[in-house]
Amino acid sequence: MVSGIGMTSDRTRARMVERLKARGIQDTLVLAAMGRVPRHVFVDEGISVRAYEDSALPIGFGQTISAPYTVARMVELLFQGRKLTKVLEVGTGCGYQAAVLAQLATEVYSVERIGALLERTRARLWPLMIRNLRLKLTDGTKGLPEAAPFDGIIVAAAAPQIPSALLAQLAPGGRLVIPVGERQQQLILVEQTEAGPVQRAIESVHFVPLLEQIQ
């Protein structure tokens, strides 16, 4: 749980949650989590007044924080009313989505490929005292074998194809939410069933590319 947060942005955040509901986000636990995490602390002060707008924002290093609707939609698809014990996020970025996931899952692992971005994110997350979130600098296309299997995996960057390591690290009944494609991307939901992985295309999206090199 996030604690030690001031009241300044509470009303703006409540309005953001109302807009998410109006756009079709229904899961009350997801809406509550979005209402708790202070999105403005994850972006640079210069643009923090825009933190609750429904748009993606730059976070430096050529990367972006996804729009609130996109985060809520992906997290809702991942959870669908279930309690998830172990979740992997690929693409920590500024750590916002990881903080939302940590409100809902028992344990969250989030991996990032840009070292300097991850260090800044660690510093920003520290005061929020989120104890069930582990961060690691690594190439997420390989998943995180030492913590696998996961009952949920969420990828915040678009891959040309679904990385096979991620499917291999999905527990039975687990779900993977991932944007797939290059210029034209679709958000794909994969469920690990007894008969193997079952895929469903959800909607068109636009994400930064999933890249393999650590920097």
- Using CB under 6 A, pick the residue from 111, 153, 180, 205 that binds ligand SAH: 111
Residue 117 sits in the site that holds ligand SAH (CB under 6 A): yes
The CA distance from 91 to 176, in Å, is: 14
CA torsion angle 19 102 113 88 (round to 10): -110
| Residue number with CB closer to ligand SAH (108 or 190) | 108
Residue 157 sits in the site that holds ligand SAH (CB under 6 A): yes
- Using CB under 6 A, pick the residue from 20, 34, 84, 94 that binds ligand SAH: 94
Residue 114 sits in the site that holds ligand SAH (CB under 6 A): yes
Phi, psi of 22 (to 5 degrees): -65, -30
Q: Count other Cβ atoms within 10 Å, centred on residue 4.
A: 8
Residue 91 sits in the site that holds ligand SAH (CB under 6 A): yes
Contact by Cβ (8 Å): 65, 43: yes
List, as one string, the DSSP characters of 34-47. Answer: HHHS-GGGGS-GGG
Shortest gap between Cβ of 59 and ligand SAH (angstroms)? Answer: 6
- Cis link prior to 38 (omega < 30° from 0)? no
- Using CB under 6 A, pick the residue from 9, 103, 141, 169 that binds ligand SAH: 141
Q: Where along the sequence are the contacts to ligand SAH (CB under 6 A)?
A: 59, 63-66, 90-91, 93-94, 96-97, 111-114, 117, 139-141, 156-157, 208, 210-212
